[in-house]
């Protein structure tokens, strides 16, 4: 099983619970898998699919997700296809014929196709070994994303009574979980529940105050990194995208009101790193399978904690640190209340109101947010601090504001407890407005008392005092402030008052940490650019080529040959064959230019590593022997059963170690060599990619690489 994991997926070990699930499914048993986004759910059916003799059918509700997963499987050399409405009838016919012949291991289908009798007839002609139901919460009307088409699954279950079923979801409360088991005919003892904890995600809630400026601060912190921003309405996504573009950011809206072509284009641009910022409606599921999203922002209040957890779950799927920020105000709650009150069904209305109440409670927490989220999904945590949410990073005892709090309390009392926070803050800052003069508030003892304190600091302090119950805020139509007897006693007692530091200051001071390994950010960016070029050539998203974790390992360990490159996480046989030479070439060029030495890479899959090394050979002696015989590149490649690119990489290493090696007979013809050398001189460097860009597709990387050996 480990060999299959390394050979086909490039990983050396399983994540928590993966092996147990795969063992269970490989024994032809049903399973319900609850695992957080980014926890490795897909592998739980993809790896068994390779162990079974027949085809695996995957039911998935999201067209974009199908394509991304199929692209990733194909990049790993696994035969996979999808059938959905984006394909022409001719293409569908070809795929179905291949499936019948047994040429496909995994076939992704949309749930609505199961209602079609002719499609079910096609399925009945297949040798089906496993059925996977992705996003299984969609089958439950108690889930946050119920899809009636999922009820068609019964027809598939009836068609393949003896075929094991694995259902997978990242978000399911206990009620939804039992509903899935009932709808799919699964047993409770076949349920696997992984921890819902995503330790790499940092959670935070910001009170809405100059929200656009707060957002810009966040975006500058993650400049150029993939970001998703969720808004309440379609109109707001359009407006915010326009405002961000005016501020110099590359951002596009994404919602159900856009044309299918517009949504498809925007999604492709986001996945391929052309547009880093997407603004989407909260209600519209994007189905983005992009592992390197570093920031998820909720510009408005989500409807439920399930949807919030799922939407924040689109951050940091590569396991690297990411941040999730929710901007909150009572005004957002009123917007949600309006739509809840319009619901006709009383039970649905009460359910929606209860779920919204839990979101409000989450926003107003003064304790660990992660613990609250996990508790919502019935996962008990003994620790009171996660050290990675705003409340745990800046506890309430950090910031003494006793004098400022006394000023605020006095100002609320002096203004008659008839005004909101904005008016009280204007009094404290000594604002010269007609409204203040009309009420005579410019003559109060607290007028101008805090003129050196910024408006943002005062707003934050008021919000914190409200959260602690020291200041009372009316929740009616006019949110006025008042002080009860406890608050008045604080003026007399002189008790110390502590609050959290303003989080906007935290945002400005903190910088995102990318990984534990030390590496050159310059080399990482070069590798990322190379990944993008390769991905564009193959018409797939960059993360299909390599994830950021793999690039970080490359930039840290600096592998110099295929044997070392094979040890990088995410490098399976297919990717080793396709990409080892071009990536190690860039890495070694950078290492030589910067006097860097390669580091020993831990061997984590010894059996597989031996097989790879023995296939490639551990020395270059055999290649040198054939060069001494004056064999051509093609003859050497055929003799050694390796690719010409590998031969060239051997020659590069041999030239460094053996100055007497005669390779003049391999020199390209003058008409091909001259333009290549000219391109090298023009680029001013020895890297292949800039030269290839100058020359175009007329010259292959191997040809350019060989010509480089003859640079004078």
130-181 pLDDT, tens digit per residue, is: 999 988 888 877 666 677 788 878 778 888 888 999 999 887 778 888 888 8
Of the pLDDT bands very low, low, confident and very high (cuts 50, 70, 90), residue 605 is: very low
Classified as helix, coil or strand, 357 is: helix
Q: Mean pLDDT throughout 672-687?
A: 79
Residue 613 pLDDT: 30
Q: How many residues does the chain have?
A: 712
Of the two residues 185 and 396, the one the predictor is more confident about is 185
Nearest partner of 402 among 485, 464, 484, judged by Cα = 464
Residue 626 pLDDT: 87
What's the CA gap between 284 and 290, in Å, rounded?
A: 17
Residue 506 pLDDT: 42
Note if the pTM is more than 0.75: no
In sign, the C-alpha dihedral spanning 568, 570, 576, 580 is negative
Report which DSSP code applies to 664. Answer: G
What's the CA gap between 471 and 408, in Å, rounded?
A: 9
Alpha helices in 497-605 (DSSP H): 503-509, 521-538, 542-545, 548-557, 562-565, 573-593
Nearest partner of 609 among 652, 653, 559, judged by Cα = 559
Least trusted range by pLDDT, from 51-55, 297-301, 484-488: 484-488
Q: How many CB atoms neighbour CB 312 within 10 A?
A: 26
Of the pLDDT bands very low, low, confident and very high (cuts 50, 70, 90), residue 597 is: confident
Q: Mean pLDDT throughout 529-533?
A: 91
Residue 481 pLDDT: 92
Residue 687 pLDDT: 63
Q: How many CB atoms neighbour CB 124 within 10 A?
A: 10
Residue 145 pLDDT: 65
What's the CA gap between 132 and 31, in Å, rounded?
A: 9
Check whether 302 has a pLDDT greater than 50. Answer: yes
Residue 425 pLDDT: 93
459 φ, ψ to 5°?
A: -60, -45
Task: Note whether 326 and 359 are within 8 A (CB).
Answer: no
Strand partners, 120: none
Residue 609 pLDDT: 35
Check whether 616 has a pLDDT greater than 50. Answer: no
Least trusted range by pLDDT, from 378-387, 423-432, 645-654: 645-654
Angle in degrees, CA 401, 403, 407, rounded to 5: 110
Nearest partner of 176 among 44, 34, 346, 283, judged by Cα = 34
Q: Which segments within 199-294 are labelled E, that is strand?
A: 201-207, 227-231, 251-254, 277-281
Of the pLDDT bands very low, low, confident and very high (cuts 50, 70, 90), residue 276 is: very high
First-to-last C-alpha distance (Å) of the chain: 50
Report which DSSP code applies to 389. Answer: B
Task: Note whether 219 and 249 are within 8 A (CB).
Answer: yes
Q: How many CB atoms neighbour CB 505 within 10 A?
A: 14
Q: How far is CA 87 from the centre of its chain?
A: 27
Residues whose CB is less than 8 angstroms from the CB of residue 706 and which lie 6 or more positions away in sequence, other chains included: 633, 648, 651, 666, 668
Residue 518 pLDDT: 82
- Beta strands at 399-400 and 498-499: parallel, antiparallel or unpaired: antiparallel
Classified as helix, coil or strand, 279 is: strand
Least trusted range by pLDDT, from 71-85, 290-304, 631-645: 631-645
How does the average pLDDT of the chain come out, rounded? 84
Q: Which segments within 270-321 are labelled E, that is strand?
A: 277-281, 295-298
Classified as helix, coil or strand, 698 is: coil
Q: Which segments within 255-359 are labelled E, that is strand?
A: 277-281, 295-298, 322-328
The token duo for 587 is 């890495």
Burial 230-258 (b: 16+ CB within 10 A, else e): bbbebebbbebbeebeeeebebbbbbeeb
Report which DSSP code applies to 319. Answer: S
Q: Mean pLDDT throughout 465-493?
A: 80
Residue 486 pLDDT: 76
Q: Which segments within 626-676 are labelled E, that is strand?
A: none
What's the CA gap between 263 and 269, in Å, rounded?
A: 10
Nearest partner of 377 among 215, 137, 160, 556, judged by Cα = 137
Nearest partner of 549 among 16, 38, 8, 20, judged by Cα = 38
What's the CA gap between 589 and 235, in Å, rounded?
A: 49
What's the CA gap between 209 and 457, in Å, rounded?
A: 11
The token duo for 281 is 């409606």
The domains found in the chain, sorted by start residue, are 2-193 (3.40.50.300), 201-383 (3.40.50.300), 397-499 (1.10.10.10), 515-613 (1.10.150.80)
What's the CA gap between 596 and 296, in Å, rounded?
A: 36
Task: Note whether 135 and 60 are within 8 A (CB).
Answer: yes
Q: What is the DSSP string of 96-131?
A: HHHHHHT--SEEEE-GGGGG-HHHHHHHHTS-EEEE
Sheet holding 106-109, edge to edge: 80-83, 106-109, 55-59, 128-133, 165-169, 31-34, 191-193
Residue 684 pLDDT: 66
Q: Mean pLDDT throughout 240-249?
A: 92
The token duo for 627 is 């060069």
Of the two residues 664 and 653, the one the predictor is more confident about is 664
Distances (CA, A) of 473 to 100, 209, 480, 497, 581: 67, 17, 6, 18, 65
Task: Note whether 145 and 4 are within 8 A (CB).
Answer: no
Residue 514 pLDDT: 44
Task: Note whether 292 and 543 are within 8 A (CB).
Answer: yes
Q: How many CB atoms neighbour CB 152 within 10 A?
A: 19
What's the CA gap between 575 and 559, in Å, rounded?
A: 15
Of the pLDDT bands very low, low, confident and very high (cuts 50, 70, 90), residue 105 is: very high
Check whether 620 has a pLDDT greater than 80. Answer: no
Q: How far is CA 398 from the centre of its chain?
A: 32
Task: Note whether 529 and 689 are within 8 A (CB).
Answer: yes
pLDDT digits 0-9 by tens, 357-412: 899 889 888 789 999 999 988 888 888 888 899 888 876 556 788 899 999 999 99
- Beta strands at 498-499 and 31-34: parallel, antiparallel or unpaired: unpaired
Q: Sort 165 into a burial class: Cβ within 10 Å, 0-12 / 13-18 / 19+.
A: buried
Of the two residues 311 and 653, the one the predictor is more confident about is 311
Task: Note whether 526 and 586 are within 8 A (CB).
Answer: yes
Nearest partner of 42 among 128, 151, 166, 215, judged by Cα = 166
Check whether 476 has a pLDDT greater than 80. Answer: no
């Amino acid at each position: 099983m480990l060999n299959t994991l390394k050979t086909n997926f490039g990983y050396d070990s399983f994540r928590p619970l993966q092996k147990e699930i795969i063992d269970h499914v490989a024994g032809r048993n049903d399973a319900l898998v609850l695992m957080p986004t980014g926890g490795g759910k897909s592998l739980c059916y993809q790896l068994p699919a390779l162990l079974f003799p027949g085809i695996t059918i995957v039911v998935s509700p999201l067209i974009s997700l199908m394509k991304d997963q199929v692209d990733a499987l194909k990049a790993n050399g696994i035969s996979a296809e999808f059938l959905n409405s984006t394909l022409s009838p001719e293409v569908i016919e070809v795929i179905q014929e291949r499936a019948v012949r047994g040429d496909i291991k995994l076939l992704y289908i949309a749930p609505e196709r199961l209602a079609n009798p002719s499609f079910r007839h096609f399925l009945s002609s297949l040798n089906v070994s496993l059925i996977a139901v992705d996003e299984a919460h969609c089958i439950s009307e108690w889930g946050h994303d119920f899809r009636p088409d999922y009820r068609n699954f019964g027809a598939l279950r009836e068609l393949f009574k003896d075929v094991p079923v694995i259902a997978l979801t990242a978000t399911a409360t206990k009620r939804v979980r039992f509903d899935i088991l009932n709808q799919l005919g699964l047993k409770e003892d076949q349920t696997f529940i992984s921890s819902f904890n995503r330790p790499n995600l940092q959670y935070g809630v910001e009170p809405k105050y100059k929200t656009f400026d707060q957002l810009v601060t966040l975006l500058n912190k993650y400049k150029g990194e993939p970001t998703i921003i969720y808004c309440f309405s379609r109109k707001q996504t359009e407006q915010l995208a326009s405002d961000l573009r005016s501020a110099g950011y590359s951002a596009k809206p994404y919602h159900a009101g856009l044309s299918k072509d517009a949504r498809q284009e925007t999604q492709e641009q986001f996945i391929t790193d052309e547009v880093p910022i997407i603004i989407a409606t909260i209600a519209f599921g994007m189905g983005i399978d992009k592992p390197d999203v570093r920031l998820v922002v909720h510009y408005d209040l989500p409807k439920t904690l399930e949807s919030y957890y799922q939407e924040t779950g689109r951050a940091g799927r590569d396991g690297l640190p990411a941040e999730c920020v929710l901007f909150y105000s009572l005004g957002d709650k009123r917007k949600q209340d309006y739509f809840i009150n319009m619901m006709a069904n009383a039970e649905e209305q009460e359910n929606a109101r209860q779920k919204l109440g839990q979101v409000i409670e989450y926003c107003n927490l003064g304790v660990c947010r992660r613990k609250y989220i996990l508790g919502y999904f019935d996962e008990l945590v003994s620790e009171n601090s996660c050290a990675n949410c705003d409340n745990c990073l800046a506890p309430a005892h950090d910031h003494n504001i006793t004098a400022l709090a006394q000023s605020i309390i006095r100002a609320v009392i002096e203004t008659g407890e008839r005004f909101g926070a904005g008016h009280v803050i204007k009094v404290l800052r000594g604002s010269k407005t007609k409204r203040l003069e009309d009420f005579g508030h410019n003559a109060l003892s607290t007028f101008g008392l805090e003129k050196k304190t910024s408006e943002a600091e005062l707003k934050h302090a008021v919000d914190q005092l409200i959260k602690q119950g020291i200041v009372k805020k009316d929740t009616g139509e006019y949110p006025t402030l008042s002080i009860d007897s406890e608050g008045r006693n604080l003026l007399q007692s002189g008790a110390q008052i502590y609050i959290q530091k303003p989080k906007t200051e935290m945002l400005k001071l903190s910088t995102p940490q990318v990984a534990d390994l030390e590496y050159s950010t310059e080399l990482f960016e070069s590798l990322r650019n190379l990944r993008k070029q390769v991905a564009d050539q193959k018409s797939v998203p960059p993360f299909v080529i390599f994830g950021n974790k793999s690039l970080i390992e490359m930039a840290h360990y600096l592998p110099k040959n295929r044997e070392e490159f094979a040890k990088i996480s995410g490098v399976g046989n297919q990717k080793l064959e396709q990409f080892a030479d071009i990536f190690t070439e860039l890495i070694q060029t950078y290492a030589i230019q910067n006097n860097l030495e390669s580091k020993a890479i831990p061997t984590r899959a010894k059996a597989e590593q031996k097989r790879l090394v023995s296939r490639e050979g551990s020395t270059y002696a055999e290649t040198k022997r054939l060069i001494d015989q004056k064999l051509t590149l093609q003859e050497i490649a055929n003799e050694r059963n390796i690719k010409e690119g590998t031969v060239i990489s051997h020659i590069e290493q041999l030239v460094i170690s053996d100055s007497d090696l005669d390779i003049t007979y391999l020199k390209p013809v003058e008409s091909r060599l001259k333009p290549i050398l000219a391109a090298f001189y023009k680029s001013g460097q020895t890297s292949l990619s800039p030269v290839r860009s100058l020359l175009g597709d007329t010259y292959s990387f191997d040809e350019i690489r060989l010509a480089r050996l003859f640079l004078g």
